[in-house]
Amino acid sequence: MRIGIGYDVHRFNGRGPVKLGGVVIPHRRGLSGHSDADVLLHAVADALFGAVGAPDLGEQFPPTDPRTRKADSRQFVRAAYAAICKQGWTVSNLDATVIADTPKLIGYKRRMAQAISRLLNIESSQVSVKAKTTEGLGHGRRGIAAQAVVLLKRSPKRKGR
Protein backbone atom coordinates (compact mmCIF):
# COMPACT_ATOMS: atom_id res chain seq x y z
CA MET A 1 0.00 0.00 0.00
CA ARG A 2 1.04 3.59 -0.64
CA ILE A 3 -0.36 6.86 0.74
CA GLY A 4 -0.18 10.29 -0.87
CA ILE A 5 -1.17 13.75 0.34
CA GLY A 6 -2.01 16.70 -1.86
CA TYR A 7 -2.72 20.36 -1.18
CA ASP A 8 -3.52 23.40 -3.28
CA VAL A 9 -4.85 26.93 -2.85
CA HIS A 10 -6.00 29.64 -5.28
CA ARG A 11 -7.17 33.21 -4.76
CA PHE A 12 -10.51 34.50 -5.94
CA ASN A 13 -10.57 36.81 -8.94
CA GLY A 14 -13.41 39.03 -10.08
CA ARG A 15 -15.03 36.57 -12.48
CA GLY A 16 -17.10 33.48 -11.70
CA PRO A 17 -17.99 30.65 -11.70
CA VAL A 18 -15.82 28.32 -9.58
CA LYS A 19 -14.74 24.88 -10.76
CA LEU A 20 -14.13 22.26 -8.04
CA GLY A 21 -13.62 18.56 -8.58
CA GLY A 22 -14.53 19.05 -12.23
CA VAL A 23 -17.93 20.51 -11.28
CA VAL A 24 -18.90 24.07 -12.21
CA ILE A 25 -20.39 25.93 -9.25
CA PRO A 26 -22.17 29.25 -9.82
CA HIS A 27 -20.38 32.01 -7.93
CA ARG A 28 -19.67 35.67 -8.60
CA ARG A 29 -15.92 35.18 -8.13
CA GLY A 30 -13.91 32.49 -9.86
CA LEU A 31 -10.40 31.39 -8.95
CA SER A 32 -7.17 32.76 -10.41
CA GLY A 33 -4.69 30.34 -11.88
CA HIS A 34 -2.69 29.36 -14.91
CA SER A 35 -5.07 26.49 -15.65
CA ASP A 36 -8.75 26.39 -14.69
CA ALA A 37 -7.65 26.71 -11.02
CA ASP A 38 -9.59 23.64 -9.85
CA VAL A 39 -7.92 23.40 -6.44
CA LEU A 40 -9.60 20.11 -5.61
CA LEU A 41 -8.36 18.33 -8.73
CA HIS A 42 -4.90 19.84 -8.21
CA ALA A 43 -4.80 18.40 -4.68
CA VAL A 44 -6.00 15.01 -5.98
CA ALA A 45 -3.32 14.95 -8.70
CA ASP A 46 -0.61 15.88 -6.19
CA ALA A 47 -1.76 13.15 -3.81
CA LEU A 48 -1.55 10.57 -6.61
CA PHE A 49 1.87 11.79 -7.76
CA GLY A 50 3.12 11.84 -4.18
CA ALA A 51 1.94 8.31 -3.46
CA VAL A 52 4.26 6.94 -6.15
CA GLY A 53 7.12 9.35 -5.49
CA ALA A 54 6.68 11.27 -8.73
CA PRO A 55 7.48 15.00 -9.05
CA ASP A 56 4.68 17.29 -7.89
CA LEU A 57 2.07 18.92 -10.09
CA GLY A 58 3.97 22.21 -10.41
CA GLU A 59 7.09 20.42 -11.66
CA GLN A 60 5.23 18.28 -14.16
CA PHE A 61 2.91 21.06 -15.37
CA PRO A 62 4.73 24.34 -14.64
CA PRO A 63 2.63 27.51 -14.64
CA THR A 64 5.04 28.93 -17.22
CA ASP A 65 4.07 26.30 -19.80
CA PRO A 66 1.77 27.87 -22.42
CA ARG A 67 0.34 24.42 -23.25
CA THR A 68 -1.42 24.29 -19.88
CA ARG A 69 -2.78 27.86 -19.99
CA LYS A 70 -6.48 27.64 -19.09
CA ALA A 71 -6.19 23.83 -19.19
CA ASP A 72 -8.92 21.60 -17.82
CA SER A 73 -7.48 20.17 -14.60
CA ARG A 74 -8.93 16.77 -15.37
CA GLN A 75 -5.93 16.30 -17.66
CA PHE A 76 -3.63 16.57 -14.62
CA VAL A 77 -5.57 13.91 -12.72
CA ARG A 78 -5.56 11.67 -15.81
CA ALA A 79 -1.77 12.03 -16.04
CA ALA A 80 -1.37 11.24 -12.34
CA TYR A 81 -3.70 8.26 -12.65
CA ALA A 82 -1.70 6.97 -15.62
CA ALA A 83 1.49 7.30 -13.55
CA ILE A 84 0.13 5.16 -10.71
CA CYS A 85 -1.28 2.57 -13.10
CA LYS A 86 2.05 2.34 -14.93
CA GLN A 87 3.68 1.42 -11.63
CA GLY A 88 1.06 -1.25 -10.92
CA TRP A 89 -1.14 0.63 -8.44
CA THR A 90 -4.84 1.36 -8.23
CA VAL A 91 -6.82 3.67 -5.96
CA SER A 92 -8.29 2.07 -2.85
CA ASN A 93 -9.91 5.28 -1.63
CA LEU A 94 -9.56 9.04 -1.70
CA ASP A 95 -10.52 11.48 1.05
CA ALA A 96 -10.61 15.19 0.22
CA THR A 97 -11.51 18.40 2.02
CA VAL A 98 -12.30 21.74 0.40
CA ILE A 99 -11.68 24.73 2.67
CA ALA A 100 -13.82 27.69 1.66
CA ASP A 101 -16.08 30.18 3.39
CA THR A 102 -17.84 30.77 0.08
CA PRO A 103 -19.47 29.36 -2.01
CA LYS A 104 -21.43 26.89 0.08
CA LEU A 105 -20.77 23.40 -1.27
CA ILE A 106 -23.40 21.26 0.44
CA GLY A 107 -25.30 20.59 -2.79
CA TYR A 108 -22.18 19.82 -4.84
CA LYS A 109 -20.05 17.40 -2.82
CA ARG A 110 -21.70 14.24 -4.17
CA ARG A 111 -21.31 15.45 -7.76
CA MET A 112 -17.63 16.22 -7.11
CA ALA A 113 -17.09 12.74 -5.65
CA GLN A 114 -18.79 11.16 -8.66
CA ALA A 115 -16.71 13.20 -11.13
CA ILE A 116 -13.48 12.30 -9.34
CA SER A 117 -14.41 8.62 -9.13
CA ARG A 118 -14.90 8.53 -12.91
CA LEU A 119 -11.42 10.00 -13.42
CA LEU A 120 -9.91 7.36 -11.10
CA ASN A 121 -11.93 4.45 -12.48
CA ILE A 122 -13.39 3.61 -9.05
CA GLU A 123 -16.83 3.64 -7.41
CA SER A 124 -18.08 6.96 -6.03
CA SER A 125 -18.32 5.27 -2.61
CA GLN A 126 -14.50 5.16 -2.63
CA VAL A 127 -14.30 8.96 -2.80
CA SER A 128 -15.17 11.30 0.04
CA VAL A 129 -15.42 15.04 -0.50
CA LYS A 130 -15.97 17.21 2.54
CA ALA A 131 -16.29 20.99 2.86
CA LYS A 132 -15.12 23.10 5.77
CA THR A 133 -15.07 26.83 6.42
CA THR A 134 -12.33 28.81 8.12
CA GLU A 135 -14.88 30.48 10.42
CA GLY A 136 -13.41 33.74 9.11
CA LEU A 137 -9.95 32.98 10.52
CA GLY A 138 -8.02 32.13 7.39
CA HIS A 139 -7.92 32.64 3.66
CA GLY A 140 -11.53 31.46 3.29
CA ARG A 141 -12.91 34.79 2.11
CA ARG A 142 -10.02 35.45 -0.28
CA GLY A 143 -9.77 32.04 -1.94
CA ILE A 144 -10.23 28.31 -1.70
CA ALA A 145 -7.88 25.56 -0.53
CA ALA A 146 -8.15 21.80 -0.84
CA GLN A 147 -6.45 18.79 0.70
CA ALA A 148 -6.56 15.20 -0.53
CA VAL A 149 -5.28 11.91 0.84
CA VAL A 150 -5.18 8.82 -1.33
CA LEU A 151 -4.56 5.19 -0.45
CA LEU A 152 -3.20 3.02 -3.25
CA LYS A 153 -3.16 -0.76 -3.43
CA ARG A 154 -1.46 -3.09 -5.87
CA SER A 155 -3.46 -3.54 -9.03
CA PRO A 156 -5.09 -7.02 -9.18
CA LYS A 157 -3.29 -7.60 -12.49
CA ARG A 158 0.06 -7.39 -10.69
CA LYS A 159 -0.68 -9.29 -7.47
CA GLY A 160 1.78 -12.02 -8.23
CA ARG A 161 4.73 -9.61 -8.30
Euclidean distance between CA atoms 30 and 21, whole angstroms: 14
Condensed to tens digits (0 to 9), the pLDDT of residues 6-19 reads 999 999 987 889 99
Average pLDDT, integer, range 30-44: 94
Q: Which residues of 91-111 are buried (b: 16+ CB within 10 A; e: fewer)?
A: bebbebbbbbbebebeebbeb
**pLDDT at residue number 103:** 92
**pLDDT at residue number 139:** 61
Whole-model pTM? 0.93
**pLDDT at residue number 159:** 52
For position 124, which CATH number holds? Answer: 3.30.1330.50
Number of domains in the chain: 1
Q: How confident is the model at residue 161 (pLDDT cuts 50, 70, 90)?
A: very low
Q: How many residues does the chain have?
A: 161
**pLDDT at residue number 138:** 67
Amino acid (one-letter) located at 49: F
**pLDDT at residue number 141:** 73
Condensed to tens digits (0 to 9), the pLDDT of residues 58-79 reads 999 998 999 888 899 999 999 9
Euclidean distance between CA atoms 8 and 149, whole angstroms: 12
- Residue 132: domain span: 2-158
What is the percentage of the chain residues whose pLDDT exceeds 90?
78
Condensed to tens digits (0 to 9), the pLDDT of residues 100-153 reads 999 999 999 999 999 999 999 999 999 999 999 988 776 667 899 999 999 999
Q: Are 3 and 149 a contacting pair, CB within 8 Å?
A: yes
